């Protein structure tokens, strides 16, 4: 019995005659009214854009890419430990005693910080 089953399987697998008749057409998908074609891609909806990020202001840590709210710029400095300590980055308006600072700010010197800045 096992030999007969093996022989049938061998003959079925080793058949060299190509099948010349195509399979009969099937009924296929039934179109539905107002349906999109099968090849159409659904429209991709993007999430709403986030609100614009506010940039850090005077005396705050610098933002991504060292961004600051104008007129401040990102100032890099070392604290009291000097170069042995960490580097700090804050948004500042550099000044000298004769400079005009933004409204409500005056030129001050922060010795262990960014130096002469408007605060």
pLDDT at 34 over 80: no
d(CA 49, CA 83): 41
Could you give the number of structural domains in the chain? 1
**CA torsion through residues 78, 101, 56, 47, sign:** negative
Among 32-36, 56-60, 91-95, 100-104, the range scoring the smallest mean pLDDT is 32-36
Q: Examine residue 87 and state whether it is found in any structural domain, yes or no.
A: yes
In this prediction, residue 44 carries a pLDDT of 74
pLDDT value at 15 more than 70: no
Domain enclosing residue 86, as ranges: 64-118
Asked whether 74 and 90 are in contact (CB, 8 A), the reply is yes
| 5, pLDDT greater than 90 | no
> Is 31 a member of any domain?
no
In-domain check, residue 95: yes
Burial of 119 (0-12, 13-18, 19+ CB in 10 A): middle
Residue 105 covered by a domain? yes
What is the average pLDDT score of the chain? 80
Structure tokens at 103: 């409204």
Half-sphere exposure of 70 (CA within 13 A, CB side): 0
User: With contact defined as beta carbons under 8 Å apart, do 66 and 88 qualify?
Assistant: no
Q: Considering the domain boundaries, does residue 35 fall inside one?
A: no
- Residues 91 and 93: their CA atoms lie apart, in Å, by 7
| pLDDT tops 90 at residue 77 | yes
pTM of the predicted protein model? 0.55
């Amino acid at each position: 019995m096992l030999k007969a089953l093996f022989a049938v399987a061998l003959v079925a697998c080793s058949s060299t005659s190509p099948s010349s008749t195509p399979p009969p057409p099937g009924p296929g998908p039934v179109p539905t009214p107002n349906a999109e074609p099968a090849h159409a891609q659904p429209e991709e909806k993007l999430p709403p854009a986030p609100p614009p990020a506010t940039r850090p202001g005077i005396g705050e840590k610098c933002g991504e890419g060292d961004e600051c709210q104008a007129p401040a710029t990102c100032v890099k400095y070392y604290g009291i430990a000097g170069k042995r300590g960490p580097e700090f980055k804050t948004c500042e308006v550099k000044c000298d005693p004769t400079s005009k600072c933004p409204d409500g700010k005056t030129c001050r010197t922060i010795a262990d910080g960014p130096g002469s800045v408007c605060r």
